[in-house]
Amino acid sequence: MRRLVSGCSVAAGLALCVAIAAPASANPAAVDLVFYAPFLKQVENGSELSYRYVRKADGKDLAPSFEDEVKLTVGPKGAEDSVKIDLFTGARGLSLPNMARSGNPLVVALFEQDVREMQKVSGGSPFYLRNRIMEALRNDPATEPTKIQYDGRTIDAWTVKFEPFAKDQHRAQLKGFADRAYELTFADDVPGGLYAIKSVTPKQDGAGPLLVEELILQPTKTAAKPMEGAKQ
C-alpha cells in the first residue's frame, strides 16, 4: 500500500536547519544549489520528472538491494504551489505531496530517507544525524565544474561532494555509516536542476562498499506529434 506523508513535515527538519547567506563566489555555493536555486520555476506546469534509482547493499542489517523509479510532479498550479514526489513504486512506495520548495525538494526527501535508515541501524538520534548533514552543507563544501551527458547532449554542471560524519566525535556509534560520502550533481540545463545524487558507504574493513545508492535523471519523454494530414 502506498503511504502518504506530508512533504512539508518531511522536509522541514532539514530545510529549516539552513538559514545563512553564502558569500559571493565564482562558483555557486553548495547550500544555494541544494536549497535555494529556483530550478523548478523553469519546469512547465504539469511536467513529470523521472529518475532511476539503484541501491546496492551488502550488509545483514541493511534493507536489500533494488532498482526502482522516483518521480517528481510539478503542477498543475506550478512549482511554488504544487510539487509532489513519489519515492519508489509498489509496496515500498512513499508519496510526498506539498513539496513547495526552492531548489529541488527531491534532495531533501532523499536525505531524510538516509536519516531514517541510519537511525534504524545505528540507534542514533534522527535529529543528530540530520543536523550533521546540514552542518556539512553550512560549512560550504567545494562546488566543482564538470560535464555530464544528458539526452544526447554534453552539458555544463556542478558537483558537490561532502562527508557529513568525517570529523564527527561520535563516529564509533554510527556502525559503518561514519565514512558515508555524498556526491550531488546539478545543471541549469536539465529539467529540475538536479541531475544525480550518489552516496557511497564503505565497509569498515575496506573490503568494498557496504552501501551504494544512486539516483539519475532520465530524459524527459515527449508525446509524438501526429503526422501531417492524419486524423485527430
Are the CB atoms for 96 and 113 separated by under 8 Å? no
Question: What is the spatial distance between Cα 154 and Cα 142, in angstroms, rounded to a whole number?
Answer: 22
Quote the DSSP letter at residue 90.
Answer: G
Q: What is the mean pLDDT of residues 70-87?
A: 87
pLDDT tens profile 185-232: 999 999 999 999 999 999 988 889 999 999 999 998 643 333 344 343
User: What is the rounded average pLDDT for all residues in the chain?
Assistant: 85
Domain ranges of the chain: 3-217
Q: Grid coordinates in use for 116?
A: 531514517
pLDDT tens profile 133-185: 999 998 989 899 999 999 999 999 999 999 999 999 999 888 889 999 999 99
Q: What is this structure's pTM?
A: 0.84
Quote the DSSP letter at residue 177.
Answer: -
Bridge partners of 109, per DSSP, are none
pLDDT surpasses 70 at 22: no
Question: What is the spatial distance between Cα 194 and Cα 159, in angstroms, rounded to a whole number?
Answer: 10
Angle between helices 126-138 and 106-122 (to 10 degrees): 130
Question: What is the spatial distance between Cα 111 and Cα 115, in angstroms, rounded to a whole number?
Answer: 6
Is residue 145 reached through a cis peptide bond, with omega within 30 degrees of 0 on the bond before it?
no
Question: What is the spatial distance between Cα 104 and Cα 229, in angstroms, rounded to a whole number?
Answer: 41
